[in-house]
Amino acid sequence: MTDEMLAWQTQRFRELRTADEGYVVHVRPEQVVEIAFDGLQRSTRYPGGLALRFARVVRYRDDKPAAEADTIETVRALARPLGGGATEGPDAEG
């Protein structure tokens, strides 16, 4: 991620912020972000119950409304086939 993109992203999420809880920032569901990752792992640390392994921003989807974005339920469904701990993600080479 470039310094320019990091600055834009920081400003954008500040604009959308509704609450701050330490390292967790809540934002209005308006910005769609395409994320690539190598795997999923169950986690008690995050509200969604999952951690994305080696996650990275692919692009910001200004062409897609938030109502069309995948939900945490979609991500959980990706984790189910392999059960328990870590799973392969859509970008895993195998």
Identify which of 75, 51, 61 has the alpha carbon closest to the alpha carbon of residue 30. 61
Structure tokens at 45: 């640390």
- Tell me how far the alpha carbon of residue 23 is from its chain's centroid: 15
Pick the more confident residue, 62 or 1: 62
82 DSSP assignment: G
Tell me the H-state helices in the chain: 3-16, 72-79
pLDDT digit string, tens, across residues 43-93 = 898 888 899 999 999 999 999 999 999 999 998 888 877 555 555 555 554
Structure tokens at 9: 């992203």
Question: Residue 5: which region, alpha, beta or left (left: phi > 0; alpha: psi -120 to 50)?
Answer: alpha
